[in-house]
């Protein structure tokens, strides 16, 4: 997959670039940040193992028909609200939310509702919060960020209704 390869190149290129800057600031800066980054990595691996290996099971038992049924075109603001809840309840990972969104669109789901669903999923899928964001960031920041994000799927749906797109 060429997109993935490109992302890897950009990613490691960035690591090497900032590593070089650290090296220019001194050998000690380089080694201490290498040590710090490696320890972060070691600490994070068990959580990611659980999250990635486990998310397949969670996705397999979440009934997709129920979620898509919530997103009907005439569901209005109640539909948007349920879309936000459904987005938060959908497992993380790069694919699940988009797949359900695509199914909902094909099944005649309303665009604003599907938009709200995809944005809510991107902003606060519970599994991504618990497994990626909390391990790396202060928990207080994560809850704060999720809380202030709550209005925005609704705002996006409102914009979509106003301009009649997508």
Asked whether the bond before 166 is cis by omega within 30 degrees of 0, the reply is yes
| Size of interface with other proteins, in residues (CB under 8 A) | 86
Binding mask 99-138 for other proteins (x = CB under 8 A): x-xx--x-----x--xx--xx--xx---xx-xxxxxxxxx
Q: Please tell me whether residue 44 binds other proteins under the rule CB under 8 A.
A: yes
Q: Please tell me whether residue 63 binds other proteins under the rule CB under 8 A.
A: no
Q: Please tell me whether residue 66 binds other proteins under the rule CB under 8 A.
A: no
Q: Please tell me whether residue 161 binds other proteins under the rule CB under 8 A.
A: no
Q: Please tell me whether residue 85 binds other proteins under the rule CB under 8 A.
A: no
Which residue in 64, 73, 77, 149 binds other proteins (CB under 8 A)?
149
Judge whether 160 and 112 are in contact, CB under 8 Å: yes
């Amino acid at each position: 997959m060429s997109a993935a390869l490109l992302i890897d190149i950009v990613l490691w290129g960035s690591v090497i670039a900032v590593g070089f800057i650290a090296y220019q600031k001194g050998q000690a800066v380089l080694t201490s940040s290498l040590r710090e980054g490696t320890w972060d990595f070691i600490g994070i691996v068990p959580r990611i193992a659980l999250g990635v290996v486990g998310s397949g099971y969670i996705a397999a038992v979440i009934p997709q028909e129920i979620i898509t049924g919530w997103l009907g075109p005439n569901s209005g603001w109640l539909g948007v609200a349920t879309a936000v809840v459904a987005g938060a309840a959908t497992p993380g990972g790069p694919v699940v939310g988009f797949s359900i969104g695509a199914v909902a669109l094909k099944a005649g789901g309303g665009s604003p509702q599907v938009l709200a669903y995809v944005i809510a999923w991107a902003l606060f899928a519970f599994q991504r919060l618990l497994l990626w964001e909390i391990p790396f960031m202060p928990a207080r920041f994560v809850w704060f960020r999720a809380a202030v994000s709550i209005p925005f799927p609704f705002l996006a749906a409102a914009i979509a209704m106003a301009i009649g797109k997508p």
